[in-house]
Amino acid sequence: MTAPATRTSPQGDQWPRWEVFKKDNDRRPYQAVGSVHAGDPQHALVTARNVFVRRPAAVSLWVVREQDILSATPEEIARGVTFRGPAGTYHVGIKATHKRSMTFVDLTGTVNATDGEDAMRQARAQHPDALAWWVIPDEAFARTEDGPDTVESWFAPAAEKTYKQQQYYGTIGRHVGELKRAGLMPSRTPDAQAAPRPAATPDARPAPSAQKVPQ
């Protein structure tokens, strides 16, 4: 695992929040799939693996503290928000559409910037039509190691889990249509089928009528 050499303290009664980026395979980008609360980078990676890697597609995980993410929407840019960050390499994440609800941004590449403001400016120039932009210092990420050993130890066990997707769940019992076709559904007896339903009988009692009250 590669990680910044930091350990964070609880904020109030919660550990800090870490954003989780998952890579499904070598052809897909890292995608922001959610967040976890954790006390340090290793804790964040293990928790992210336990929460988000429920299928064998993942080959790598990255996590970063929420406070290290510089994010903006077009509305925030119009209000004149500013961004602070160190000089160096930044990863750029964009939200291009509302269609994918399971992820927020995809990491599209990196930029070399003099500070956070410069990184956000470059991200916006590269993707002017994005719905949201994230820029994150490269040094802020904690990562699982690359290589087949990591895939085997971190992600391959997910292939044996039985709670993958809806179609993998077993069914309890057999469908009533299948039982009928197999002749296993009990049928009503002829007497029960022929027995007429009792007719509804009107109330024989006369309806109450108004009576004069003796003077």
Say whether pLDDT at 167 is over 80.
Answer: no
**Cα three-residue angle 99-101-102, rounded to 5 degrees:** 135
Question: Is the pLDDT assigned to residue 30 strictly greater than 60?
Answer: yes
pTM metric for this prediction? 0.69
Tell me the pLDDT of the chain averaged across its residues.
82
In sequence order, the 6+-apart residues with CB closer than 8 A to the CB of 65 are: 8, 16, 17, 18, 19, 140
Q: Between 166 and 160, where is the model more confident?
A: 160
Answer whether residue 189 shows pLDDT above 70.
no
Give me the mean pLDDT over the 95-106 stretch.
84
Structure tokens at 143: 């990562």
The answer for residues whose C-beta is within 8 angstroms of residue 23's C-beta and 6 or more apart is: 29, 30, 31, 58, 59, 60, 61, 62
Q: Is the pLDDT of residue 160 over 60?
A: yes
Query: Which H or E run includes 50?
Result: helix 41-52
pLDDT number for residue 41:
96
What Rg, from alpha-carbon coordinates, does the chain have?
Answer: 31
Q: Could you state, in order of their start, the residue ranges of all structural domains in the chain?
A: 17-154
Query: What confidence score (pLDDT) does residue 98 get?
Result: 82
Please identify which residue in the block is written with the tokens 């992820």: 103
- How many CB atoms sit inside 10 A of residue 137's CB? 21
Give the mean pLDDT of 7-25: 81
Considering only residues 194 and 143, tell me which one the structure prediction assigns the higher pLDDT.
Answer: 143
Helix/strand/coil (H, E, C) string of 174-203? CCHHHHHHCCCCCCCCHHHHHCCCCCCCCC
